[in-house]
Structure 1
Amino acid sequence: MSNAAKWLAVFVLFILCLAVAGLLISLKLGESARNESRWIIDEMWDADYFNRSRGNVAKDEALNIMSLKKGASRKEGLLEYVRAQNCSSLEARCILNDLSIANLLVDSGELDSALNMLSSVPDRLDKIGGCPIGLESSLLRYHEGSLERMPPAKARRVASSLVVKIRTQGGLLRNLRSEQCDKLAQSKPELFHEYVTLTSRVMELGDAGLFKQGAYITSVNKMDFE
């Protein structure tokens, strides 16, 4: 074998070793991220909720999920629907519609108006009861919008504190680890799947460890409402 052929063989072997090492590191990092994110994708509620759909969500609930997406304020059909459904009673549908409006305001950059709308929701929800997953999802969307306006270093600190609060207290304002939320997660897992994806987006604005978890959740997300 000529020297050129030997050097080529060594080079090819070196590239193969690098590829194998990269694959092993990638698998190890993926397993680590999976374990570190288990608390939000597997253990938050007593239900199978991540990447699960039972088809039980009402139209208002499905559109509320859509309103939490980035770019939602540019969907004319969605805007027209929430405007047409605007109401001010204590009915759950009115509260949910207000949350959808707040989500669209966040998406369009009107954070103060969104916060003003969200401020009346907790007391109204307390009067009718139920699992406050809609409120907590809207609060996450609001904070995501706020984080995106912060200097990176500050955003990382705030995002980390938000995730710690969710993990230790079950939510930002209300504790979602409840029997009511467990039952709702069992019947309408789509609402809770979306909460996980929102949390992952906030994670990706946090420190390196949180970014890894958020990126992992995004990579295994198989559901979307468009």
Structure 2
Amino acid sequence: MKIRFLVLSGILIASFASFWVYGNSVIAIGERESRWILQDMWGSSYFYARMEGLNEHERINLLSLREGSSKNQELIDHVMKNKCTDDSVRCYLVMTSASNLLIDAREYDSGLRGMVEAIDRVSAKEFCPIAYESAIIRYKIEVMSSKDSWSARRSSIDVLEKIKANNGFIKSLKTETCTRLAREKPKFFHEYTMLVAHIMVFAGGDYAKAGAYIDSLRNNEG
């Protein structure tokens, strides 16, 4: 009986040790594989940002990126009441918010046309396209969610590799203007990183560990 107890105790201790080692290995890999976006892109100070220091159209734009946004009446009302066609950054954000709502509602063609039209109108010389890039990643998440796991994995890896190589999917986000905006309006970059983490989960492997690591940081926010 004593021998059996010792054997069972040994198995439990070995199992616990294995899980502990594996868990720490996953965390280490996740931390390492997420450095390119958590540290190298704009520094690490932006990540824990909250909805503070934002004006109304900026706040609405960030909320429009979230799943189910097309059913949020506050967002719909704001977009409808603030329709615009000028070349200001404000109008660009309003139009991009409208595109995000359309994408959430799976009106993909209209949503994509709207976001491209919005960014093409902006006349500001110093301009960071973080809202545009976030809208694209939100669209990619919607499309991947409807694919089989193999296709979603392949597509997501392609997206991540392109972002890592170019510092953005279409437009670079690693610029002086974006770094300055990350200090002034860090919530835009926090939300973008969470969208990229979602793509990482689709990719599997070390990317998925990085995505889980990023998500754990959000869940551990004070």
> Which residue number corresponds to residue 135 of structure 1?
132
The alignment partner of 1:51 has SS state of: coil
* Alpha-carbon distance in 1 for matches of 2:73, 2:208: 32
Number of the residue aligned with 2:52 = 55
Aligned partner of 2:213 among 212, 216, 223:
216
Q: Which residue of 2 aligns with 1:163?
A: 160
Instruction: Give the paired residue count.
Output: 220
- Residue 193 (structure 2) aligned to one of 191, 196, 212: 196
Residue 186 (1) aligns with residue 188 (2): no
Q: Displacement of 1:58 after TM fit?
A: 1.4
Q: Does 1:95 align with 2:128?
A: no
Matches within 5 A, 1:73-84: 73-84=70-81
Amino acid at match of 1:6: I
CA contact (8 A) 1:54 1:189 kept: no
Deviation at 1:162, TM superposition (A): 0.8
Counterparts of 1:78 and 1:115 in 2: how far apart (Å)? Answer: 18
Q: Partner of 1:69 in structure 2?
A: 66
CA deviation vs aligned residue, 1:61-101 (integer Å, no higher than 9, x gap)? 11211111111122222222222122111121111011111
Contact map agreement 1:51 1:223 (CA 8 A) in 2: no
Offset of residue 206 of structure 1: 1.3
**Could you list the per-position Cα deviations for residues 40-71 of structure 1 after superposition, in whole angstroms to 9, with x for gaps in the alignment?**
01111146211134822212111211111111
SS in 2 for 1:40: helix
CA distance in 2, matches of 1:78, 1:219: 28
Q: Does 1:111 align with 2:108?
A: yes
Aligned partner letter, 2:67 = K
Change (3 A) 1:10 1:123: same
Unaligned runs of 5+ in 1: none
Q: TM-score, normalised by structure 1?
A: 0.90
Equivalent position of 1:42 in the other structure: 39
The equivalent position to 2:151 in structure 1, one of 127, 151, 154, is 154
Q: Deviations over 1:1-59 (max 9, x none)?
A: xxx24313321331122112201210121011101111101111146211134822212
Q: Is the 8 A contact 1:131 1:181 kept in 2?
A: yes
**Alpha-carbon contact 2:46-2:186 (below 8 Å) kept:** yes
SS of 2:161's partner is helix
CA deviation vs aligned residue, 1:161-218 (integer Å, no higher than 9, x gap):
1111111101111111100011110111111011100111111111322222112111
CA contact (8 A) 1:47 1:182 kept: no
How many Å separate the matches in 2 of 1:40 and 1:223? 18
Superposition CA RMSD, Å: 1.8
User: What are the superposed Cα offsets for residues 98-151 of structure 1, whole Å, 9 maximum, x if unpaired?
Assistant: 1111111111111111112122123213x2231111111111111111122223
SS in 1 for 2:202: coil
Contact 2:47/2:189 (<8 A) preserved: yes
State how far apart, in whole Å, the 2-side matches of 1:143 and 1:136 are: 11
Letter matched to residue 94 of structure 1: C
Q: Which amino acid aligns with 1:59?
A: E
